[in-house]
Each structure stands twice: as C-alpha cells, then as structure tokens.
Structure 1
C-alpha cells in the first residue's frame, strides 16, 4: 500500500470516527487535542459495554481502527509525523503514526482501553508520545 493510499484510508477512517461518535455518543469531535477527552469518554463507555457483554471481534477491530485513526490525525496535525504501514510481521501488519524514530500504534491503545484497562487515557498517551519525540 502506497503512502498516499494509507493517508487517504486513515483520513476517511478518522471521518468515520467523527460520524460514529456523533451518532452513537452525541459528542462532536473537532480534530483538536481537547477532543481527545471525548475520545476517552467514548472508549470508557465501550469498556463498560465490553464488561457487560463482549463486543464482536469485528466491531472491536473497526472501532479501535477508526478511533485510532482519529487520534493519529489529531497527533499528526499538532505534532507532525506520517502514517506508516508496518509489515515487519506478515502475519500481523498494522498501521501506526511514525515521527522521528518513534512509532505510535493508536488503534492498539484504543483496543487495550476497551478490552483491558479503562484507566488508559488516550489524551495523556498523546501528550506523552509528543514529549518522547521532543526529547
């Protein structure tokens, strides 16, 4: 997959996240750092639903990826970086944001917050990721 194709795919996925959050959670995402608090709220709600009744693997994959794309687009617009298709493991490729020599798998962070640890804050993760790059 070419870089421009990945960029387009992730931008479309981020727009899907905005639509999903507006329709299902009545929150308006505006691609600002402050909007990551709303993403945390949505992920916390999804975590609570997961505890009550497991989401399907397909739904978890989709939600993690569209919300991860949204977070990535916010990160890129504020700090820079590019989408990167990591195919080091052919059995488990993934798309992340790469900036400098660092890689940030935002979809994975979303997945872990939904499935395992509601205490994870994507807003804090983004701040820490930016700080790590700036060092």
Structure 2
C-alpha cells in the first residue's frame, strides 16, 4: 500500500472515530491534544462494557483502529510524523505513526486499554511518545 493511500485511509478512519464518538458517546472531538481526555473516557467506557460482556473481535478491531487513527492524526498534527505500514512480520502487519526512528502503534494502545488495562491513559502515552522523540 502506498503511503498516500495509508494516509488517506487513516484520515478517513479518524473521521469515522469522530462520527462514532459523537453518535454513541455524545462527545465532540476536535483533533486537539485536549480531546485525548475524551478518548480516554470513551476507551474506559468500552473497557467497562468489555468486562460486563465481551465485544465481538470484529467490533474491537474496528473501534481500536478508528480510535487509534484519531489519536495518530492528533499526534501528527501536534508533533509531526507520518503513517507507516509495518510489514516486518508478514503474518502480523500493522499501521503506526512513525517519527524519526520511533513507531507508535496507537491502535494497539487502544486495544490494550479496552481488553486489559483500563489504567492506561492515552493522553499521557501521547505526551510520553512525543518526549521520547524529542530526546
């Protein structure tokens, strides 16, 4: 997949996240760093629902990818970087944001928060990711 195609795909996915969160969670996202606290709220709600009754793997895949795309677009807008299709392991490719020599798989962070560790704060993860690049 060409980088232009990946970028468009992820921008479209981020817009899907904005629509989903507005409809299902009644929150308005604006692609600001401050909006990441709303993302944490949504992911916490999804984590609580997951604990009560497991979501389908297809739903989790879709939600983590669109919300991860939103987080990535916020990161790119504030710190720079590009979408990157990592195919190092052909059996488990993933799309991440690449900046300098670092990769940030935001969808994976969303997946981990929903399915395992609600204590993860996306807003803090993004700040730490940016700090790691600036070192």
- Using structure 2 for the length normalisation, give the TM-score: 1.00
1:31 alignment counterpart? 31
Q: Provide runs of 4+ in structure 1 moved above 6 Å.
A: none
Q: Report the CA distance between 1:20 and its aligned residue.
A: 0.2
* Aligned residue-pair number: 135
- Gaps (5+ residues) in structure 2? none
1:65 alignment counterpart? 65
1:90 alignment counterpart? 90
- Distance in 1, matches of 2:3 and 2:95, equals 11
2:116 alignment counterpart? 116
Q: Report the CA distance between 1:38 and its aligned residue.
A: 0.1
Q: Report the CA distance between 1:86 and its aligned residue.
A: 0.2
Q: Report the CA distance between 1:55 and its aligned residue.
A: 0.3
- Using structure 1 for the length normalisation, give the TM-score: 1.00
What is the CA RMSD across the aligned residues, in angstroms? Answer: 0.2
Q: Report the CA distance between 1:35 and its aligned residue.
A: 0.1
Q: Report the CA distance between 1:36 and its aligned residue.
A: 0.2
- Gaps (5+ residues) in structure 1? none
**Alpha-carbon displacement from aligned partner over 1:78-135 (angstroms, at most 9, x marks no partner):** 0000000000111100000000000000000000000000000000000000000000
